[in-house]
Amino acid sequence: MTRRHVERYGDPRHERTKDPLEILIARERGTCKGCRLILKSPFGGPEVACKKRMRPAALRIEETKRCMLYTLEEAK
């Protein structure tokens, strides 16, 4: 399975005319970013994991997927 490289704001042709904030919100809508259950590496690295052990650690938050525990009320 090939991982798709996520371009920076507005780089793909279909996103060139969109607002950068809308692009960011759309990309992070399916990730764990903002969840209060995210646990970052104690050594300052980029590794993240879920405190409830619902998801394995990932190198970047963008590679995580939201679980059933994530709700808008829990977001910071």
> pLDDT (tens digit, 9 = 90+) per residue, 5-43?
655 554 566 666 778 888 788 878 888 888 888 888 888
Global pTM value: 0.56
- Length of the chain in terms of residues written: 76
Count of C-beta atoms within a 10 Å radius of residue 47: 15
What single string gives the DSSP state of each residue in 6-43? PPPTT-SGGGTTS-HHHHHHHHHTTS-TTBTTEEE-TT
Q: How far is CA 25 from CA 1, 44, 56, in A?
A: 26, 25, 23
**Residue-wise pLDDT tens digits, 36-64:** 888 888 888 888 888 888 888 888 888 88
